[in-house]
Chain A
Amino acid sequence: MRTINQFFSKIREINQRYAKPTVEMSRGVKISLAVLRVYLFLLVLLMIYKFITVIKVV
């Protein structure tokens, strides 16, 4: 239990340490990150769709 608590407190510490991105958020960076989010979201949707269709066949 103590180890699990230590692990989660370490995760919280990491999240706090890297809470603020240091890269300059120019328009190009913002657009790139937004496009990346959409791309990954669509990819995950595609994988979920594939998973559901495979489950249906089984």
Chain B
Amino acid sequence: MDFFSVLYYRFKKVWKAVRLYLVVAGPGLVVMIADNDAGGITTYAATGAKYGYHLIWFLLLLIPVAYYVQEMTVRLGAVTKRGHAEAIFESFGAFWGWFSLLDLMIVDWLTLVTEFVGMTAALSIFGVPAWLTVIIVVLLMSILVLNGRYWTWEKIALGFCLLNLIYIPAAFMVNPSISDIVGQGLIPNLPGGLTNELFFLLMANIGTTIAPWMLFFQQSSVVDKGLLEKDIKMGKIDTFIGSIITVAIAVFIVIVTGTLLNGAPIDDAATAAKLLMKTNHYVGAFMAVGLFDAGLLGAICISLASSWAFGEIFGWAHSLNTKVKEAPWFYISFFFTLATAGVVPLIPGAPLVLITLFVQVVAVTLLPAALVFLILLLNDKKTMGEYANTRLQNIVSSTIVVAIIILSTMYGVSALFPNLFQ
């Protein structure tokens, strides 16, 4: 064979793999990018403003953490063809099943409220009243889910994921010093020592990377998409690419606020966007648009995670491939969750700070349980067969899970008792 024939053969082989990836891609990318929700954007903006580029190395460490936890849901979903809630009910019985389902419902609803808070704050920067934002979001999400096809929903959701990349041009527009990013950001360091404030921010970054709804969402999404055992390899690649993109977006946000707002007190991303607008109007606008998009993506995934879980347990039809007539309860629960959460930020004097605190605390009760169940399910050789965790996978995932449990517990406890670790 001549050189060109070999080249053509290799190109066809690579192109075939790319096409196969594009068919399977979706759940991993969507869940990972949606992980950068309104709360996540606030955490990253605060990290950059408080510590400049110094914690970029820590964010990079979160790539394998996010990947190893989420890839287990791909295997579990593809092999069992069951969502996470159903898998817990069936494997561990009704007690643990109800505990997980009710906890998921509470934490999802509270998180959804915080997404609406982020979205209304983001669009208020452009003069859009909060009530109009809520109506726009509910209408947009209705169009998204009522088309009756998982495939269409996923591709539109991926479009919103693409918009999340807006922080990349924003970072280039602020002309950061590359040598400072490399020098300060890539060498592990704890600026000012391990203070209570730094510790809380590190835990917040972990908390925003791994959330309970992500486990439920990705597994149900894998099942709804109809991925099989043969798709696991591509599903894992999808998750890995997603974990890289989600951390990359976080790093670019840190670069933006670390460059322009270093030292400024940032309580939420909307404040960061307003402050950025004073320095560079377009960068501030990008931050606000990104915050709205992040809240929207989070809302799309979180409300679906709850509806899928309820559908699995109550035996309702629960697929985006079904019409409203075929799966009325699935869509009713979806819109009920969405509408009730959307109304909260419109209530004058609503306890939004308390709700944010509750999200952290309730998530801590669900996350360790969900992670322990995940490891146990992946070790059930009777169900998982050759896709059960290997010894190495168990060592890596157990180490990550134990670390997450310890840190998220400390995060939750410090949210309850702010002076405990001082």
Binding site for B on A (CB under 8 A): 10, 14-15, 18-24, 28-29, 32-33, 36, 39-40, 43-44, 46-47, 50
Contacts and interface: CB of A to CB of B under 8 A. Distances in A.
A3 to B, nearest CB: 13
Contact of A14 (B94, B368, B375, B416): B94
B93 A18 contact: yes
B94 A32 contact: no
A21 B372 contact: no
Interface residues of B, number: 29
A32 B154 CA distance: 36
Given A18-B94, A32-B372, A43-B364, A24 B380 contact: yes
A2 B379 CA distance: 43
B417 interface: yes
Given A23-B380, A47-B416, A36 B368 contact: yes
A46 B416 contact: yes
B207 to A, nearest CB: 15
A43 B368 CA distance: 11
Given A10-B314, A43-B365, A43-B412, 7 more contacts: A14-B94, A33-B92, A36-B369, A39-B409, A40-B99, A43-B409, A50-B416
Nearest to A43: B365
A32 B372 CA distance: 7
A18 B372 contact: no
A47 B361 contact: yes
A53 B397 CA distance: 38
Nearest to B103: A40
B413 A18 contact: no
Contacts of B383: 22
Contacts of B361: 47
A9 to B, nearest CB: 12
Contacts of A39: 368, 409
Contacts of B364: 43
A23 B94 contact: no
B313 interface: yes
Contacts of A24: 380, 382
B95 to A, nearest CB: 9
B376 interface: yes
Contacts of B89: 14, 18
B189 interface: no
B309 to A, nearest CB: 13
Contact of A19 (B93, B314, B377, B413): B93
Nearest to B379: A28
30 contacts: A10-B314, A14-B94, A14-B313, A18-B89, A18-B90, A18-B97, A19-B94, A20-B93, A21-B90, A21-B91, A21-B92, A22-B91, A22-B383, A23-B376, A23-B380, A24-B380, A28-B376, A28-B379, A29-B376, A32-B372, A32-B376, A36-B368, A36-B369, A39-B368, A43-B365, A43-B409, A44-B365, A46-B416, A47-B416, A50-B417
Contact of B314 (A14, A21, A23): A14
Interface of B: 89-94, 96-97, 99, 313-314, 361, 364-365, 368-369, 372, 375-377, 379-380, 382-383, 409, 412-413, 416-417
B252 to A, nearest CB: 35
Nearest to A7: B314
Residue in A18, A19, A24 with the greatest tally of chain B CB atoms within 10 Å: A18
Contacts of B92: 21, 23, 33
Contacts of A21: 90-93
B369 A40 contact: yes
B230 to A, nearest CB: 25
Contacts of A40: 99, 365, 369
Contacts of B382: 24
Contacts of B91: 21-23
Contacts of A20: 93
Nearest to B88: A18
A36 to B, nearest CB: 6
A25 B37 CA distance: 38
A19 B95 CA distance: 9
Residue in A23, A33, A39, A43 with the greatest tally of chain B CB atoms within 10 Å: A23
Contacts of A14: 89, 94, 313-314
Contacts of B90: 18, 21-22
Contacts of B376: 23, 28-29, 32
A15 to B, nearest CB: 5
